[in-house]
């Protein structure tokens, strides 16, 4: 007998333990992503005591802290938040690419869902649009994904 599917709208944060790793670089954007993620956590019934927030210098540092949390923290999911804005040098490509690769590696190695909530945008305006708390906040979307993935993993 198979268990019924849990839809995204039914997934609850209640009883789950989630960590957010958030970059300080471009904090004028990341702070809004963090607010959106925390709001989603609360809206889905999550307890403040079960949500850990860890700040790191930048997006490049997200994977190592995500790995530490995934392998030793007893978390059901981890949300990585950051913002990398393209500039005039190839620095964007290295930071964004290695951040994504590193977070995916943690995901696969640990079996703990690590959600990629890192904006990789061309302009500040694009970042502001995606981080707006009143609109399509990608931090909130990332937390929704983390809660749903925690439910999926618990069912498997």
Active site residues: 91
What DSSP string runs through 137-149? -HHHHHHHHHHHH
- How many C-alpha atoms does 49 have within 13 Å on its Cβ side? 2
User: Locate tokens 């209640």: which residue?
Assistant: 14
113 in Cβ contact with 66 (< 8 Å): no
The CA distance from 83 to 154, in Å, is 30
Beta bridge partners of 18: 51, 77
């Amino acid at each position: 007998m198979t268990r019924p599917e849990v839809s995204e709208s039914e997934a609850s944060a209640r009883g789950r333990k989630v960590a957010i790793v958030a970059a300080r670089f471009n904090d004028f954007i990341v702070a809004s992503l963090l607010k959106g993620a925390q709001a989603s956590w609360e809206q889905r019934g999550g307890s403040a005591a079960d949500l850990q927030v860890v700040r790191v210098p930048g997006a490049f540092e997200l994977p190592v802290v995500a790995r530490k949390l995934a392998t030793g923290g007893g978390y059901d999911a981890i949300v990585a938040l950051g913002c990398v804005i393209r500039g005039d040098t190839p620095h964007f490509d290295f930071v964004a690419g290695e951040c994504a690769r590193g977070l995916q590696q943690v995901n696969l190695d640990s079996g703990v869902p690590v959600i990629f909530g890192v904006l990789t945008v061309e302009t500040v305006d694009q970042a502001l649009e995606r981080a707006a708390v009143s609109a399509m906040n990608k931090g909130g979307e990332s937390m929704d994904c983390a809660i749903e993935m925690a439910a999926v993993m618990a069912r498997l």
